[in-house]
A and B are shown apart, each in its own frame.
Chain A
């Protein structure tokens, strides 16, 4: 099929969690014989009606008129949700799940007809889908798939190193759970916690927390392997949380909470199961997409 892949940033050239995920799926799409075109709003592309299907991926800047155009020209589209924006929350990465989100919020009027028009909705985890149902309860009746982030088991594995202490990654801001981390550190004062991040909010951490600067993606497996426990106490719903999967594959004991999407999968119980399901993610993604057309 000729597929249009709609993304804010070109996943074949840009760095970021969503782009990572999309790149893996797009490459698999090529291998399955699909002609995948990345569509970045504002950049020239083939006309919409030339595509057999459009996959709306991490896209907050697409004009609403484009959906009208797709419906008018009968171009089928599939939603592949990465976080919450713009359909559920204008803050994109942060969905407060308050009462007003499902009663007053203006987004519901704007996006309801568009969501109803999708051939398929793909979420990153059961929790991710649950959060959407908070704002759009009727979505439960529409076709969907749950596809985890494709984490590369060849990059994250147990190196057999000596492990010590607790690792937390990017839990250094409020909406990523820094308050939960601080509380856990205070309650577990005997644990030494390495926090990878920048402390942009200028928080004061307990003495058993050590801040270290961010690492490159290629250095992360080593970092996971140096620690016994990976701590991820999200304060807001995290659609997946690929660091939990990476850390588990790297041999860490993962301590998370019920706000982490990855942990809402029933199979997230062992490194083997995580490796298998994440590796199968692109295949399952395309099987679902192909069946929807």
Chain B
């Protein structure tokens, strides 16, 4: 293969959308562009292209409106742009077109895959991920999960990253306006909950755990900031009310959330005001865990899943039950366990005499999850893939090579000496 690879990146949200997907593109894509040239990085984020943005930091943003991955346009983009491979990020369960194209050798597809469900039916794996050229798990936990489904195309994990230069600790007490907007006070126990109002986040159990903690420690002034759109598959306000926390809970401006939410810079300030980040859903990675650890803030994660790879400072909540109502399963946090974890964190605050923070957690997070570190792992993998393309000739040559072209230009004419049919005596 001559020249740098051309990578078509497909995620749901574009790089200016403050979602998990958006942040991945925001931080990874420019680094790939710096390495391979912005003209060789194509972004296809169909939800993003609602805003009719066609360019981001020198990279082309391909058009196509969709509420999901926009697979219906992806093949057209592939045929027109002729990238080296497709890097698809995130949920792979709903994919249909991409696996079919890969199965028919029409695209080379690399899936950067979360493993955020248990008991995935083998036929889903066989019909989807088996056709990926490479499946790149986000975590060691995810790697073990995916290999357990007899996939042979699973690489070493490459985690999602965090911009540790942006996600730096600062004292929330120096952000009084932000503290006030979150309903936090210096002497209260300030809990930050992030999670979309989706059933699969199992917010109820986590919020119940906080409610239980408040009930069992009535002398501790608990404050909760729920950073989400309150109305979704579940009604967050109802969950909070049932947990007996409505009087101590603040929600973000819903108009702001509908308009795209807070910027990453604003979120850093929000995190810095918290005493603990509560994010104990079973996630593929848990971006909130990374972000909190990057500023040294303790987190409560779930004991099952990748959280124990990420959490350096905080507590892991045991599983309360497994939700078998869907064909695929998620472990769900135990409310009693949440309450117990909150106790541990509150004790840390009491000992610290202020918001508990860990420099060690920050340094370890920086060493493993900073976007520069993550990007360099991608560079290594891309280089390996490019060599494989050459070694196994995965992309058929479009044009003959130099020697063949030169030979083709040298004409040879042969004239038969016979003018009419003659008996040619054959031996």
Contacts and interface: CB of A to CB of B under 8 A. Distances in A.
The answer to whether A and B assemble together is yes
Interface of A: 89-91, 94, 96-100, 104-106, 153, 157-160, 177, 180, 233-237, 244, 248-249, 251-260, 263, 268-272, 275-276, 279-280, 283
A263 B408 CA distance: 12
Interface in B376-427: 387, 390-393, 396-397, 400-401, 403-405, 407-422, 424, 426-427
B414 A159 contact: no
B417 A256 contact: no
B397 A98 contact: yes
Contacts of B400: 96-97, 235-236
B418 A158 contact: yes
Nearest to A244: B414
Nearest to A252: B416
Given A105-B391, A259-B404, 15 more contacts: A94-B397, A98-B397, A100-B391, A105-B390, A105-B392, A105-B393, A153-B424, A153-B426, A159-B421, A160-B420, A160-B421, A251-B421, A252-B416, A257-B412, A279-B426
A271 B390 contact: no
Contacts of A159: 421
A121 to B, nearest CB: 22
B200 to A, nearest CB: 42
Contacts of B413: 253-256
Contacts of B397: 94, 96, 98
Nearest to A250: B416
B217 to A, nearest CB: 64
Contact of B421 (A96, A157, A235): A157
Contacts of A94: 396-397
A235 to B, nearest CB: 5
Contacts of B422: 158
Contacts, number: 118
A256 B411 contact: yes
Given A96-B401, A255-B413, A180 B408 contact: yes
A100 B407 CA distance: 19
B412 A272 contact: no
Interface of B: 387, 390-393, 396-397, 400-401, 403-405, 407-422, 424, 426-427
Nearest to B403: A97
Interface of chain B, main secondary structure: loop
A124 B414 CA distance: 19
A244 B424 CA distance: 18
Contacts of B417: 270-272
B197 to A, nearest CB: 50
Given A96-B397, A275-B424, A177 B414 contact: no
Nearest to A157: B421
Nearest to B405: A235
A249 B424 CA distance: 10
Contacts of A96: 397, 400-401, 404
Given A91-B393, A100-B391, A157-B421, A263 B416 contact: no
A279 B427 contact: yes
B414 A259 contact: no
A159 B418 CA distance: 11
B424 A272 contact: yes
Question: Which 6 residue pairs of A and B lie closest in terms of their CB atoms, listed nearest first?
Answer: A271-B416, A258-B407, A96-B397, A270-B417, A98-B401, A254-B414
B427 A276 contact: yes
A236 B404 contact: yes
25 contacts: A90-B392, A96-B397, A96-B401, A98-B401, A100-B391, A104-B391, A105-B392, A105-B393, A106-B391, A158-B416, A158-B422, A235-B405, A237-B407, A249-B416, A251-B416, A252-B416, A255-B411, A257-B407, A257-B410, A257-B412, A259-B407, A260-B412, A271-B417, A272-B417, A272-B418
A220 to B, nearest CB: 16
B127 to A, nearest CB: 26
A135 to B, nearest CB: 12
A89 B396 CA distance: 11
A177 B424 contact: no
A233 B408 contact: yes
A158 B421 contact: yes
Contacts of B390: 100, 104-105
Contacts of B412: 254-258, 260, 263
Contacts of B415: 253-254
A280 B422 CA distance: 19
A138 B311 CA distance: 58
B144 to A, nearest CB: 29
Nearest to A253: B415
A28 to B, nearest CB: 12
A158 B419 CA distance: 8
Nearest to A264: B412
A251 B404 contact: no
Contact of B414 (A97, A233, A269, A272): A269
A248 B392 CA distance: 39
